[in-house]
Amino acid sequence: MNGENTRQALRARHSGWRLPLAMLAARSLCWIAAQAAVAVFFLAAGRGDPWNAAAPWWSVYGILANLGCLGLLLVSARREGIGFAALTGRLRLGRDLWLAAGAYMVMAAAVLMPAVWINRLMFGLDNPPMYPGLLSARDLPFWAVIVSFAVFAPLNALIEETAYQGYVLARLDAVFRRRWLAPVLVAFFWAAQHAFLPFILDWQYAVWRFLYFFLGTLAFTLLYLLIRRLPPLILAHAAMDALAVFYTLRF
């Protein structure tokens, strides 16, 4: 792990908990703001139900949300006198690829194993409706599909892992006396964020998305605290995001 972002270095710099906690909420607010901006565009174009009209474009407007979050990370890092690279660490080819493969399998198991139980709990079905046209079965123009794969998937993995783990989790783990509190808190907000990507105004959807991802985000936070390496988690996350884009498109 990069020396500037170790538990000892963070304690020596007296890194506090207020800004990391603010980042937990800011990440979801960035998603809502980006969807709202696209909804305003559809409203001006005369589209009915502009909020839901914007929802299928989450893998495009998500780029704006990530850029906004990147700006917050850069400002936060500068306040500590460090750069963005201190939050991510450097990729080590070979070992990090093996760690990424292992992290991917752990994450996939953590998401898929409780899926049927969660689907039955929320919808009474083994396979949920998946909100066709909004979350799944999305019709996007070719350029938006390319942007979703080439830009959104890698950028979202980089910013999301850096925000929740390299920045927030590392700092809360350094300041909280109860070591279990930091990963649970980060996992909670991280899972809740998925209810805002896209934000569909349906309480069942919001609870379902939270439950669906909570075990997975908790697994990722524990993996980070175990290996203290962010690049392999970014690689695993990018692969998952690319699959998410693929499976939610209508071909």
For 231-234, which contacts have Cβ atoms below 8 Å and span 24 or more sequence positions?
Answer: 231/88, 231/89, 231/90, 231/91, 231/92, 231/96, 231/100, 232/96, 232/97, 232/98, 232/99, 232/100, 232/102, 232/103, 233/100, 233/103, 233/161, 233/165, 234/88, 234/157, 234/158, 234/161, 234/162
Per-residue pLDDT tens digits for 80-114: 889 999 999 999 988 899 999 999 999 999 999 99
Question: What is the pTM (predicted TM-score) of this model?
Answer: 0.93
Helix axes 231-247, 153-161, angle to 10 degrees: 140
Per-residue pLDDT tens digits for 110-133: 999 999 999 999 999 998 889 999
Regions of the chain short of the pLDDT cut 50: none
Taking the alpha carbons of 159, 161, 166, 169 in that order, is the dihedral positive or negative?
positive
